[in-house]
Structure 1
């Protein structure tokens, strides 16, 4: 049998924690054979004549064995190549089984059961050890991450998220798995982690800004890492990217969550994927030669559909749309999402709010007219300051949705709050539908939104009655940046988008903070119970209270004076 060349394995060179040159196969052979190999495997360097290199990945091992069936060569480390190929075959067989239509996913002991499609994602991630979960916004990527923590092999874990989301993650973890202990990193430099029940926290939660300072500690501490909004790691020159690479290489499990893995240029995907599945796409040079075009700083994917198919076929990425999982989702999902707030806003009105609250509750010294007037003023300033305190964080959340390609209807009430939203979301040129625009301007704005010329429509809570047509706009996301006392108003506003003619499941986010009137209103409106029941029993009718206002300003005033607000 003729032998056309020789293949040797070059061990990794230099660097720790993911840096340095990875192990690779060096292929030397007859020039026409190397030419044929370069034609088949476009990722290798094309300028070499009689020698090329390929990364030592399971996929490349399998491909090289296939090539050797046609052009036999001497292989110095054949057992390693065969083991890599066998690993690739076995892994794909197992992952194909998990994603098959008749697969029955594992049960996980969570306080709120996962839906089948979420359990499939958990199974896929745990079987593979790494996964980029690119599901549509609103179908439960966070729940998948928390579900994975039910496997002790993933603990202790690190969750890295955006600056305003650590508290939200902590609440979600405790909601799904109350037994887990958590700690939110409080500053950018390391300190001794608290001991809970004689050991460190099960989950450490941090934001991307603090990641670099904690990298050495976290790589030694964690067995798994979850990167929320993982597109934050798209720039290899950033400190947070370097920190993530170091942590990822030390962890057994790595999960990335995002509906938008690519924000600008497709070439950024390599960096994102390298933090989740290191080396699976080969080297950056192999990736660019195989899939990309464009200039150095504007690398684009030549054929995005083909690349997306490759990622899904090899289970590197899992992406489901709302329509694809719609059989398991209610047509309307209502989600309470916690956001931060600026407590300084609440301190500004402390004196006036205290005086008004006392007038409201003092039935002996205050007349009914005085109490009525004070109630209106107290309600106004408390709800306005609550809206102002959380307004920047509401805008940040909405921006995430918009950057993911979602069209959003945002509901609010106070003009001062609108001003903050307008400034922070000005790049999206929002359409306004409040009490300030003429009927002609409102109608024109709505038509722009329906026609796809605008991505964000801001509506006053009490201005949307009777508005029709938004169900045809492609919008499936409603955000309540401020709350109304009347559950009927919320129902009516959701009904602008969730109505006959809407082809997609709709998600309505209630953005609430722990400060101001929000906790009181959430309780009065029955939103917490509604959310839990909606997750547990998606086919049941939501138990939100219907009808007219449920506002009780006296109870609100009492809660304020008692220090509960």
Structure 2
């Protein structure tokens, strides 16, 4: 048989070598194995891993290589192990999968079938990004993972306002002993099964992660690490990951902006699954941020069993389609005119300044225009909110800037709004949530970035007003998802209140681009139907409000 080169296994059994390839075969090899440098010639090295051996075995059927009988048996053995492992992982996700009986659950508590599938997959692969839709119980999936053999002690990394919520849920669902880690300065931890740590305090504990004490590491809302090791919490998470046995990332919205974030998150959970950053950009990138084929990347991640996502419809929890309404609202042109001169100066500095000046000017311009846009329409949004509040409808008002909140608080003072923003500490947030949930107020003003992971709002509310816009569509989707989940008894109404000037128009345009990047990776092959906009509910409330106003007059 004609051969195109030679394949051999090094004596220590760790590396496969290919050498003497014909030029055209070397080109094909580089296409199939994108981690190989395009400039590499003569000698090619591959780790002796099951998945690599499966690819090599396939390659030599197309381009035969000289190989000894001993090495051929070693290659075949690895390939069969890979195929067996893949078949077993595929069986886990089949409907007839028989889950384990979980010991350590409190009486009356269960792990659902689809949650048990994710647990088994994560346990077998040792690393998983779980992107299940909001409301499908990723917290309980993580709890079940903690009950698997060898997974304790466990550390859970959460946003600050979710630490107590995780503790309550774990203690209410399992018999695990839970400790909330406080502060950035390490101390002797009490004996416990699960330690809940805040992202904001993680960096201070980085030196304690080297000893491998934690067997399972869980990152809730792992999109917080989308900047990778450019952030201190990212650096600490990398040390934690490299010294833990099992890794589990949780987020219904793992891609908030551009597809490049997929690399930062997945490289933490499974180093090398996407190659180096340069290899990833060369193979998948359209530029340094965007992915040229998000659907293909999403499919690849599923094939590698590193990413698992189920929608509500996949597990029999189909809810009515969220009714998304885009409303144009009036604005105070003076608020925008007052910043025009300064904004123009920042724009000029951004256009003609140095690299450092451009970055600073861009950030200042973004903050300036977005705040001015929010302030310009804040009064009119408050009036819009009164339509719902006058009818007794509970609402969430989503914003970002303190100046906007102040206007809303002043205009809606009679309704005594609850505040769940960046200004409240965790205990204050718990109290403000209680006020809203107990019906002491029908208005919850929430920061766009404070609602991640917050549970139970669907039991009280079905309407959210997006008063300010974020550059990331997933921020808004995540907030709406707090209401669109199991336990919701009403159709969810998600209203975007858009101004015709300021930062709203460009953000709206860019959100479409970012949404397409995230959707392709997270939901490849999914057909996205246009959400139906039906203003009938709003019109009824408007009519009721007019009647109440006339009666009062």
Decide: shared fold, TM above 0.5: yes
- Superposed displacement of residue 142, structure 1: 0.6
1:232 aligns with 224
- 1:31 pairs with 2:28: no
- 1:497 pairs with 2:492: yes
- Superposed displacement of residue 68, structure 1: 2.3
Is the Cα contact below 8 Å between 1:395 and 1:424 reproduced in 2?
no
- 1:169 pairs with 2:163: no
Cα distance in 2 for residues equivalent to 1:59 and 1:292: 23
Paired residues for 1:407-422 under 5 Å: 421=446
Which secondary structure state, in structure 2, belongs to the residue aligned with residue 152 of structure 1?
A: coil
Alpha carbons of structure 1 residues 126 and 84: separation in structure 2 relative to 1, 3 Å: same
Alpha carbons of structure 1 residues 476 and 131: separation in structure 2 relative to 1, 3 Å: closer
111-120 vs 208-217, greater mean Cα deviation: 208-217
- Superposed displacement of residue 496, structure 1: 4.9
2:285 aligns with 292
**Aligned with residue 119 of structure 1, among 116, 120, 129:** 116
- Superposed displacement of residue 78, structure 1: 6.8
Is the Cα contact below 8 Å between 1:410 and 1:456 reproduced in 2?
no
**Aligned with residue 192 of structure 1, among 174, 188, 202:** 188
- 1:46 pairs with 2:38: yes
State the structure with bigger RCO (CA 8 A, min sep 6), 1 or 2: 2
- 1:320 pairs with 2:313: no
Which secondary structure state, in structure 1, belongs to the residue aligned with residue 39 of structure 2?
A: coil
**Aligned with residue 478 of structure 1, among 480, 483, 489:** 483
Cα distance in 2 for residues equivalent to 1:319 and 1:239: 28
Alpha carbons of structure 1 residues 249 and 88: separation in structure 2 relative to 1, 3 Å: farther
Alpha carbons of structure 1 residues 395 and 323: separation in structure 2 relative to 1, 3 Å: farther
152-161 vs 105-114, greater mean Cα deviation: 105-114
Alpha carbons of structure 1 residues 139 and 84: separation in structure 2 relative to 1, 3 Å: same
239-248 vs 131-140, greater mean Cα deviation: 239-248
2:295 aligns with 305
Is the Cα contact below 8 Å between 1:136 and 1:319 reproduced in 2?
yes
Alpha carbons of structure 1 residues 74 and 213: separation in structure 2 relative to 1, 3 Å: farther
Cα distance in 2 for residues equivalent to 1:11 and 1:231: 43
1:257 aligns with 250
Which secondary structure state, in structure 1, belongs to the residue aligned with residue 209 of structure 2?
A: helix
Deviation by residue 1:299-355 (Cα, 9 ceiling, x = unmatched): x2221111111222232111001111125x7889xxxxxxxxxxxxxxxxxxxxxxx
Cα distance in 2 for residues equivalent to 1:251 and 1:456: 33
Deviation by residue 1:230-262 (Cα, 9 ceiling, x = unmatched): 122222322222222222122221111011222
Is the Cα contact below 8 Å between 2:131 and 2:254 reproduced in 1?
yes
Cα distance in 1 for residues equivalent to 2:448 and 2:254: 26
1:4 aligns with 4
Is the Cα contact below 8 Å between 1:249 and 1:278 reproduced in 2?
no
1:183 aligns with 179
- 1:223 pairs with 2:219: no
- 1:214 pairs with 2:209: no
Alpha carbons of structure 1 residues 86 and 244: separation in structure 2 relative to 1, 3 Å: farther
Equivalent pairs counted in the alignment come to 364
Cα distance in 2 for residues equivalent to 1:242 and 1:9: 36
> What TM-score comes out, normalization by structure 2 length?
0.57
- Superposed displacement of residue 210, structure 1: 2.1
Cα distance in 2 for residues equivalent to 1:135 and 1:423: 21
Deviation by residue 1:414-472 (Cα, 9 ceiling, x = unmatched): 69x76x547979xxxxxxxxxxxxxxxxxxx99xx9xxx99979xxxxxxxxxxxxxxx
Is the Cα contact below 8 Å between 1:107 and 1:119 reproduced in 2?
no
**Aligned with residue 136 of structure 1, among 133, 136, 142:** 133
Cα distance in 2 for residues equivalent to 1:24 and 1:227: 33
Which secondary structure state, in structure 2, belongs to the residue aligned with residue 160 of structure 1?
A: strand
Which secondary structure state, in structure 2, belongs to the residue aligned with residue 63 of structure 1?
A: helix
Cα distance in 1 for residues equivalent to 2:203 and 2:449: 27
Deviation by residue 1:356-382 (Cα, 9 ceiling, x = unmatched): xxxxxxxxxxxxxxxxxxxxxxxx999
5+ residue gaps, structure 1: 13-22, 195-199, 333-379, 397-408, 426-444, 458-473, 481-490, 499-565
- Superposed displacement of residue 137, structure 1: 0.8
Cα distance in 1 for residues equivalent to 2:77 and 2:236: 31
Is the Cα contact below 8 Å between 2:484 and 2:492 reproduced in 1?
no
- Superposed displacement of residue 36, structure 1: 2.1
Which secondary structure state, in structure 2, belongs to the residue aligned with residue 226 of structure 1?
A: strand
Is the Cα contact below 8 Å between 2:281 and 2:287 reproduced in 1?
no
Alpha carbons of structure 1 residues 242 and 71: separation in structure 2 relative to 1, 3 Å: farther
Alpha carbons of structure 1 residues 383 and 113: separation in structure 2 relative to 1, 3 Å: farther
Alpha carbons of structure 1 residues 268 and 24: separation in structure 2 relative to 1, 3 Å: farther
1:278 aligns with 271
Cα distance in 2 for residues equivalent to 1:32 and 1:423: 54
Alpha carbons of structure 1 residues 186 and 128: separation in structure 2 relative to 1, 3 Å: same
Cα distance in 2 for residues equivalent to 1:147 and 1:5: 50
- Superposed displacement of residue 58, structure 1: 3.2
1:102 aligns with 96
